[in-house]
Homo-oligomer: A and B are copies of this chain.
Amino acid sequence: MEPFEVHILGCGSALPTTRHNASTQVVRIGNRQYMIDCGEGAQLQLRKSHIHFSFINHIFISHLHGDHCFGLIGLISTFGLLGRTSPLHIHAPEPLHEIMQPQLDFFCKDLAYRVEFHTIDTQKNSVIYEDNSITVETIPQKHRIPCCGFLFKEKPKKRHIRGDMMEYYNIPLYMRGGIKEGNSFTTPQGEVIPNEKLTSAPDPSRSYAYCSDTLPCPQNKDIIEGVDLLYHEATFADSEEARARATFHSTARQAATIAKEANVKRLVIGHFSSRYTDETILSAQAKEIFPCTELADENIIYHIK
Taken residue by residue from 100 to 111, chain A's Cβ proximity to chain B (1 for < 8 Å, 0 otherwise) reads as 001100110000
Given contacts A40-B40, A43-B40, A81-B14, contact A95 B99 (CB under 8 A): no
- Interface residues of chain A, those whose CB is within 8 Å of chain B, are 14-18, 21, 40-41, 43-44, 47-48, 64-66, 70-71, 73-74, 77-78, 81-82, 95, 98-99, 102-103, 106-107
Q: Which residues of B contact A41 (CB under 8 A)?
A: 40-41, 44
Q: Which residues of B contact A73 (CB under 8 A)?
A: 66, 70
Q: Which residues of B contact A65 (CB under 8 A)?
A: 107
Q: Which residues of B contact A47 (CB under 8 A)?
A: 16-18
Task: State the number of copies, please.
Answer: 2
Decide: A43 and B16 in contact? CB cutoff 8 A. Answer: yes
Decide: A15 and B81 in contact? CB cutoff 8 A. Answer: yes
Q: Which residues of B contact A66 (CB under 8 A)?
A: 73-74, 77, 107
Decide: A106 and B95 in contact? CB cutoff 8 A. Answer: yes
Decide: B48 and A44 in contact? CB cutoff 8 A. Answer: no
Q: Which residues of B contact A98 (CB under 8 A)?
A: 102
Given known contacts A15-B82, A40-B41, A64-B107, what 20 new A-B pairs fall within 8 Å (CB)?
A14-B78, A14-B81, A15-B78, A15-B81, A16-B43, A16-B44, A16-B47, A17-B47, A18-B48, A40-B40, A40-B43, A40-B44, A40-B71, A41-B41, A66-B73, A66-B107, A70-B77, A98-B102, A99-B107, A103-B103
A144 to B106, CA, bound (A): 14
Q: List 22 A-B contacts (CB under 8 A).
A: A14-B78, A14-B81, A15-B78, A16-B47, A16-B74, A17-B47, A18-B47, A40-B40, A40-B43, A40-B44, A40-B74, A64-B106, A65-B107, A66-B74, A66-B77, A66-B107, A70-B77, A95-B106, A98-B102, A99-B102, A99-B106, A102-B102
